[in-house]
Amino acid sequence: MSRSVPPAIPPDERPRPEEIGFPLEPTLEAVLGLKAQIPEDAFTAETLGTEREGSGVLIHENGLVLTVGYLVCEASRVWLTTARGQVVSGHLLGYDFETGFGLVQAEAPIDASPLELGHAADLRVGEPVVTAAHGGPRMALRSVLLARREFAGYWEYLVEEALFLSPTHPSWGGAACIDKSGALVGIGSLQVRTGSEERPDTVTMALPVDLLQPILDDLVTLGRVRRPARPWLGLYLLEDERGLGVLNLVPGGPAARAGVETGDRIARVGDVPVCDLADFYRLVWGLGPAGTLVPLTVRRGERVLSFEIESADRADYLKRPSLH
């Protein structure tokens, strides 16, 4: 299946052979093109689209491919493209909400050597890395680890030790973050704005592969991780100088059913005031597993309203990976 071809990285921004400790071209053969087709009635179809493109990384000789989960969540069909132009069909094997990783199983042999999983925790701030999307050396970017810190997403998502890479890669979704030894240490997830309004900048946020190691067996065998599901409210939240506001709600989701509305300002979880996105998630998740009642107080104009929201398991709203 054809894929759009992104513009190449300028030659002066690509890795220099003397700066890396591995052969670039054969190593990058493990970075595959990925295209996923999602049913029109899928839960994520409206927000993420029914056709998604990015990259994936071959991590096992049996055809196991690691990518960022939003590319393949609810996918009914997946195609993988190698550096030599070979197109292989695949299927969604597993997806983990908490880390954001997705796994795809290739359905035919892939003519490439897999990347070894490294240790993102060993990276030092300021250390050079290679950020590479599918396309070989022309899509490889010379990057540095700018920071390692938590990232809170508006869709009820939190990563404690996200990697922030500069400069940003133009094709960040599912891109490989490779350390100086040639090992995979991260998977590109998002483009994040940093800096000030006067001097804005963007960086690539990558998921550290250290988060994959403890859950890999479960994802391969079960399609999800064997742990209690976190309570999910179906909220999209915005953090600003006034605290937390409800940007949007999932139609028919727990918060919408309880009566929370767009524009409400979050005041408290239980008796605890909250104005920080990460703290809000920790408070809600600390109450118990999915199904737990979440006591939420909001400000709506001049009124203060309290709700008991019956939380849910987000996975129950999604199409599950098919058994193969």
What CATH number did the domain enclosing 273 receive? 2.30.42.10
Q: Are residues 117 and 195 in the same domain?
A: yes
Main-chain dihedrals φ then ψ at residue 17, nearest 5 degrees = -55, -35
**What's the pLDDT at 279?**
98
Same domain, residue pair 19 and 36: yes
Whole-prediction pTM: 0.94
Note the pLDDT tens digit of each residue in 48-67: 999 999 999 999 999 999 99
Whether 322 is covered by a domain: the verdict is no
Kindly state whether residue 324 falls inside one of the protein's structural domains: no
Q: Tokens 């940003």 sit at which residue?
A: 168
Asked if residue 245 and residue 191 are part of one domain, the reply reads: no
Is 201 part of any domain?
yes
Last residue of a domain, one of 172, 207, 226: 226
| pLDDT surpassing 80 at residue 3 | no
* Nearest residue to 77 via CA among 88, 65, 63: 88
Q: Do 115 and 254 share a domain, yes or no?
A: no
Closest CA to 319 of 148, 95, 86, 54: 95
- Clarify whether residues 146 and 249 are in a common domain: no
For residue 1, is pLDDT > 60?
no
Q: What is the band of 319 on the pLDDT scale with cuts at 50, 70, 90?
A: confident
Residue 259 belongs to a domain: yes
Tell whether 73 and 220 lie within a shared domain. Answer: yes
> What is the domain range of residue 101?
1-226
Q: Answer yes or no: do 48 and 170 share one domain.
A: yes
CA 282 to centroid of chain Cα atoms: 19
In a domain, residue 258? The reply is yes
pLDDT tens-digit readout, 64-89: 999 999 999 999 999 999 999 999 99
Which of 163, 194, 226 finishes a domain? 226
Average pLDDT over residues 155-168: 96
Residue 138 has pLDDT above 60, yes or no: yes
Q: Are residues 18 and 43 both part of a single domain?
A: yes
Domain-embedded: residue 193: yes
Please tell me whether residues 213 and 293 are part of one structural domain.
Answer: no
Q: What are phi and psi of 22, to 5 degrees?
A: -150, 155
Domain co-membership, 14 together with 78: yes
Quick one: pLDDT band at residue 193, thresholds 50, 70, 90?
confident
pLDDT at residue 196 greater than cutoff 90: no
Residues 246, 211: one domain? Answer: no
pLDDT surpasses 80 at 273: yes
Does the residue 70 lie in any domain? yes
Domain count, the chain: 2
Q: Is the peptide bond before 17 cis (omega within 30 degrees of 0)?
A: no
Q: Confirm whether 93 is domain-assigned.
A: yes
Q: Return all residues near 14 (Cβ < 8 A) that are at least 6 apart.
A: 137, 138, 140, 141, 142
Bridge partner list, 143:
129
* Euclidean distance between CA atoms 212 and 101, whole angstroms: 8
Task: Give one word for 139, left, alpha or beta, with left for phi > 0 and alpha for psi -120 to 50.
Answer: alpha
Same domain for 244 and 197, yes or no, is no
Rounded distance, CA 233 to CA 277, Å?
14
Domain boundary among 226, 246, 269: 226
- pLDDT surpassing 90 at residue 311: yes
Q: What CATH number is given to the structural domain containing 93?
A: 2.40.10.120
